Amino acid sequence: MSTLHLIIGNKNYSSWSLRPWMAMTMAGIPFRETVIPLDTPKTKSQIAEHSGAGRVPVLHHGKLVIWDSLAILEYLAETFPEKKFWPVGKTARAVARAISNEMHSGFTSLRDVCPMNIRRVPKSVPLNDTAKADIARIENVWRECRAKFGKGGPFLFGKFSIADAMYTPVASRFSTYLLASNDDTRAYVATILATPAFKLWQEAALRESWIIPADEVD
């Protein structure tokens, strides 16, 4: 099988890059990575060498090019069915896909107010009403999934799945901006941040020297 090559942005800031990286690392799938610094004069041309879409992440598998985090994750689920990237049960899979797509297309206020910044010293920031609503919805999603499907382990559907990969950058934000309002949320955030995969990503992020001023929220 051809080598998988994942092109990603800065590990400190690129939440979309974290999602497939986290899933592949948690699953033990070997891959090569290329990190492209974001928001520099060369960023656009460097990404264009790998994808016409102009954004990261991008996955190369032989001659195949897949862009968009969720599309990459779906491809991995089809290519490596033995890894069980989605929950086994039909109902659980349907819910996992629903909440993953909700993450993919929603929660823009939270993203705007609380950009992912792993190096940031944890501190709260002022939240507008829409960001507060995003946080409440996310906490409710996590609580319901854990209650209905989480009996087999500490993740949303028991075992780690694409849904957890999709929400990993959000868990990071909850820690960075002190957003958790209850013990259930804090427990899930702690579970994600304690995984060996996230710790590897975090260690690399802390070594980076690139700065994106717009994501450096006071």
Residue 20 clears pLDDT 80, i.e. is over it: yes
pLDDT at 11 over 90: yes
Question: In the numeric block, which tokens belong to residue 90?
Answer: 């039909």
pLDDT tens digit sequence for 64-77:
999 999 999 999 99
Q: Using an 8 Å Cβ cutoff, are 52 and 45 in contact?
A: no
The average confidence (pLDDT) of the chain is: 96
pLDDT for position 41: 93
pLDDT band at residue 214 under the 50/70/90 scheme: confident
Q: Is 185 in contact with 128 (CB distance < 8 Å)?
A: no
Structure token digits, residue 52 = 């016409």
**Domains along the chain?**
4-83+208-215 (3.40.30.10), 90-200 (1.20.1050.10)
- Indicate if the pLDDT at residue 144 is higher than 80: yes
pTM, to two decimals: 0.96
Minimum mean pLDDT among 3-7, 141-145, 199-203, 207-211: which range?
A: 207-211
- Per-residue pLDDT reduced to its tens digit, 174-185: 999 999 999 999
- Confidence bin at 215 (pLDDT 50/70/90): confident
What is the identity of the amino acid at 146? R
> With DSSP H G I counted as helix, E B as strand and the rest as coil, what are the percentages for the chain, rounded to 5?
55, 10, 35
Task: For the sheet with 32-36, list strands across it.
Answer: 32-36, 4-9, 58-61, 64-67
Where does the pLDDT of residue 25 fall: very low under 50, low under 70, confident under 90, or very high at 90 and above?
Answer: very high
